[in-house]
Structure 1
Amino acid sequence: MDKVVLAYSGGLDTSYCVKYLINELNLEVHGVLVNTGGFSEEELKVVEKKAYDMGVTSHTSKNILEEYYSKAIKYMVYGNVLKNNTYPLSVSAERVFQSIEVVKYAKSIGAKYIAHGSTGAGNDQVRFDMIFQTIAPEIEILTPIRDLKLSRQVEIDYLVKHGVDMNWEKSKYSINKGIWGTSVGGVETLSSQKSLPEYAYPSQLKRNDEEQVTLTFDKGQFVAFNGEKDCPVNNILKLEAIASAFAIGRDTHVGDTIVGIKGRVGFEAAAATVIIKAHHLLEKHTLSKAQQLTKESLANTYGTYFHDGQYLEPLMRNIEKFLEDSQKTVTGDVFVTLRPYHFMVTGIDSEFDLMASSFADYGEENNAWSAEDAKGFIKIYGMQNKIFYHVNKDLLDV
């Protein structure tokens, strides 16, 4: 029997894929779950048991949190990446790294096929297929749900027919969780008018007080939380545990999907949102005007390509080198106040703080120029406009 590696999550679609690949295509199915922070140890055990009950030859779980941080999250923080100024690429970036791990595993066991349970209507099919085709063009991709255009009920009926009579009652909301945030899709996100109700979010409000926290960055990396040093992954998890209790980081992302239609999805990303905003404030104090302007443009490109599954585009490595180099002075403490449903980044303390120079205090006094210097600068600074409207008097519409 030929081997097929299936990106398996334990849900209806991937469960159908297991049975279909075995019964209809006579393949030896090897399931792999790639954990980017969305599964507890107990949940992983439940998924593994379900996989073997479905009939897989083998099932493996791979934890890639550290790799995902060092190759993705780190650069998204450096770039303050928020798709459409809103979405911290919670799930979309994870799919890329899950795809990479699945195809690496397929090559390691000599699989002839790779399979996933994506439909033909979303972004994930693009992300999976592009990575698979680039890294292992010799391995054929199988997508039963997409190819057969299956409805949920057809999948359930097929599984029941083959002895899998489980409770597949569809949850009202589709939840995808990872270390950088959780996406929430439901009937409200299928149209443009409604917002998700409170109960749709996995992290419910648990605290009505407020808490002051300190995030410490070293060259752009989140190296300590409340004065306690730890690796960035653990610091993210610690912050998430506290900030999610305040129901922070909820929003709805509206954007252009890879397949050309508009898409809308809710999400909660407490740690990601706080970290990005805290890091951004620290950069405002420690980077030059030109650095910030250039970074913003490049980071927007980086986030767009990442979202669209183009992580392997060579330009991404070029931008990463720029982003990393830009972080040389992004070191210091950032102070944040957490409150129910929102937070405030209140200030920073850094040895590289450009406000701490002895040249001037904005709007108050200066030590570096005279009043005559200021007048001369303003005259020269406005000279281009003055010349333009002197020559084009009819265009001065004021």
Structure 2
Amino acid sequence: MAKDKIVLAYSGGLDTSVILKWLKETYDAEIIAFTADIGQKEELDGLEEKALATGASKVYIDDLREEFAQDFINPMFQAGALYEGQYLLGTSIARPLIAKRMVDIARAEGAIAIAHGATGKGNDQVRFELTAAALAPEISVIAPWRLESFREQFPGRAEMIAYAEKHGIPVQASASKPYSMDRNLLHISFESGMLEDPWFDASADENRDMYVLSVSPEEAPDQAEYIELTFESGIATAINGESLSPLGVMDKLNELGGKHGIGRVDMVENRFVGMKSRGVYETPGGTILFTAHRKIESLTMDREVMHLRDSLISKYSTLVYNGFWFAPERLALQALVAESQKNVTGVVRLKLYKGNVIGAGVKSPVSLYNPDIATMEADPTQAYDQGDATGFIRLNALRLKVSSGVEQSRK
């Protein structure tokens, strides 16, 4: 009889390597390992061989970088998403893409379930499973870290290392690893270990080796660098006049941002599951893109459209952070965002210098800025009569005067 199939989100690290073997034994199933190439670089080296050596019957390593940039990063940046005022959602936005592809593979392979190595304390479990629920409610999800039998067998990292050694699982792991790291095209996140102390200074010179994508601002060049980003309908399409794909834009901006020490964030955030957690992030290219996008919007977006979209940023960001990328409310908000971006077209000039992204000019063929109207000199168009402001102010002041009168009468 053919065995049941389970598709596992596989990174090749200690946790998912142990989980692959454990799933195969516990469920007597055929395990199909899936790794999404979303910009992990050298972390993908040797993954297929590792998965097969650990017991996978089949391995998928799919290059999803262009799709990630075009269909996930770009729409999110059009929305101006920023979680709790600091986090550019680098990990959050990757999970729905990974889960989407897992579902596709599960259907193609006739698998009964998908599985992941996310813990029961984190956000990723929610993101994976809400995506699966939205796209393939008929497929079951196995989350080993939420199973008591798994936690009893592996109460700590030492037990997982011993299990790997016993079964000849080819992983490199240390019981004293100081932090965990997750990398993709948009960012790298660091958490746990020494970073669980919010007083620990992750920016100190002695911790510089932790960072991967960027130099420290202190080590960045002493000479500023100017760049120009071209936007079409809210999407960056060229850098310094060179047309690039969405992936090409992110790769180039990561290179430029990393060189100048841009995009480091150290924050304590509120997880969806209820606890606070401390994370350190490197988002060099995303930080440049976020700043440039906001600047071209300032020139080309209608005031009320911008303010309406801005009023929804917190809601949109929370939906992405919490895993509701494929929920109807996020899709509805995205339709509004897409409409708001139709005229967000033009060129932004920026100066990159020691961790800073500084605006240095903006222009657009559909600019809403009219220097003749905005000038402090005589208005040649006579489009604005300063005397009109008297009635404008008087009408807006009316309710304030009435309210003040009521308050005065009470005294």
| Moved beyond 6 Å, runs of 4+ | none
Deviation at 1:211, TM superposition (A): 0.7
- Check 1:368–1:168 CA distance in 2 against 1; reply closer, same or farther (3 A cut): same
CA distance in structure 1 between the aligned counterparts of 2:12 and 2:377, rounded to whole angstroms: 62
Corresponding residue of 1:104: 104
CA distance in structure 2 between the aligned counterparts of 1:221 and 1:165, rounded to whole angstroms: 42
Deviation at 1:207, TM superposition (A): 3.8
Find 1:29's aligned residue among 5, 28, 31: 31
Deviation at 1:371, TM superposition (A): 4.5
Asked whether 1:340 is paired with 2:350, we answer no
Judge conservation of contact 1:257–1:263 (CA < 8 Å) in 2: yes
CA distance in structure 2 between the aligned counterparts of 1:59 and 1:256, rounded to whole angstroms: 35
Judge conservation of contact 1:215–1:225 (CA < 8 Å) in 2: yes
**Partner of 1:358: helix, strand, or coil?**
helix
Corresponding residue of 1:223: 237
Corresponding residue of 2:370: 356
| Deviations, residues 280-330 of structure 1 (Å, cap 9, x unaligned) | 111112112211111112232121111101112111111111111111221
CA distance in structure 1 between the aligned counterparts of 2:283 and 2:197, rounded to whole angstroms: 22
CA distance in structure 1 between the aligned counterparts of 2:293 and 2:358, rounded to whole angstroms: 13
**Partner of 1:61: helix, strand, or coil?**
strand
Deviation at 1:365, TM superposition (A): 5.0
Corresponding residue of 1:20: 22
Q: Structure 1 stretch 247-256 or stretch 142-151: which is displaced more?
A: 142-151
Q: Partner amino acid for 2:35?
A: L
**Partner of 2:372: helix, strand, or coil?**
coil
Q: CA RMSD in A?
A: 2.0
Alignment of 1:130-145 (within 5 A): 130-145=130-145
Q: Structure 1, unaligned stretches of length 5 or more?
A: none
Deviation at 1:113, TM superposition (A): 2.2
Asked whether 1:281 is paired with 2:295, we answer yes
TM-score, normalised on structure 1? 0.93
Deviation at 1:337, TM superposition (A): 0.7
Find 2:267's aligned residue among 250, 253, 269: 253
Q: Structure 1 stretch 232-241 or stretch 163-172: which is displaced more?
A: 163-172
Corresponding residue of 2:391: 376
CA distance in structure 2 between the aligned counterparts of 1:210 and 1:186, rounded to whole angstroms: 35
Find 1:156's aligned residue among 152, 161, 178: 161
CA distance in structure 1 between the aligned counterparts of 2:338 and 2:214, rounded to whole angstroms: 36
| Deviations, residues 63-122 of structure 1 (Å, cap 9, x unaligned) | 222322333212211111111111111011101110111111111100122111111111
Judge conservation of contact 1:219–1:329 (CA < 8 Å) in 2: yes
**Partner of 1:114: helix, strand, or coil?**
strand
Q: Partner amino acid for 1:119?
A: T
| Deviations, residues 32-87 of structure 1 (Å, cap 9, x unaligned) | 101222235xx434111111111211111112223223332122111111111111
Corresponding residue of 2:94: 94
Corresponding residue of 1:187: 193
CA distance in structure 2 between the aligned counterparts of 1:50 and 1:70, rounded to whole angstroms: 30
Find 2:325's aligned residue among 294, 311, 314: 311
CA distance in structure 2 between the aligned counterparts of 1:127 and 1:373, rounded to whole angstroms: 53
Deviation at 1:130, TM superposition (A): 2.0
TM-score, normalised on structure 2? 0.90
CA distance in structure 2 between the aligned counterparts of 1:96 and 1:338, rounded to whole angstroms: 32
CA distance in structure 1 between the aligned counterparts of 2:341 and 2:88, rounded to whole angstroms: 19
Q: Partner amino acid for 1:86?
A: Q
Identical pairs, percent? 30
Q: Structure 1 stretch 80-89 or stretch 385-394: which is displaced more?
A: 385-394
Find 2:13's aligned residue among 11, 23, 36: 11
Deviation at 1:143, TM superposition (A): 2.3
Alignment of 1:233-252 (within 5 A): 233-252=247-266
Corresponding residue of 1:323: 337
Q: Structure 1 stretch 164-173 or stretch 230-239: which is displaced more?
A: 164-173
CA distance in structure 1 between the aligned counterparts of 2:61 and 2:410, rounded to whole angstroms: 67
Judge conservation of contact 2:113–2:139 (CA < 8 Å) in 1: yes
Matched pairs, number: 393
Q: Structure 1 stretch 60-69 or stretch 158-167: which is displaced more?
A: 158-167
CA distance in structure 2 between the aligned counterparts of 1:269 and 1:279, rounded to whole angstroms: 15
**Partner of 2:280: helix, strand, or coil?**
strand
- Check 1:204–1:65 CA distance in 2 against 1; reply closer, same or farther (3 A cut): closer
**Partner of 1:355: helix, strand, or coil?**
coil
Q: Structure 2, unaligned stretches of length 5 or more?
A: none
Q: Partner amino acid for 1:155?
A: M
Judge conservation of contact 2:263–2:284 (CA < 8 Å) in 1: yes
Corresponding residue of 1:263: 277
**Partner of 1:393: helix, strand, or coil?**
helix
- Check 1:365–1:78 CA distance in 2 against 1; reply closer, same or farther (3 A cut): farther
Deviation at 1:358, TM superposition (A): 2.4
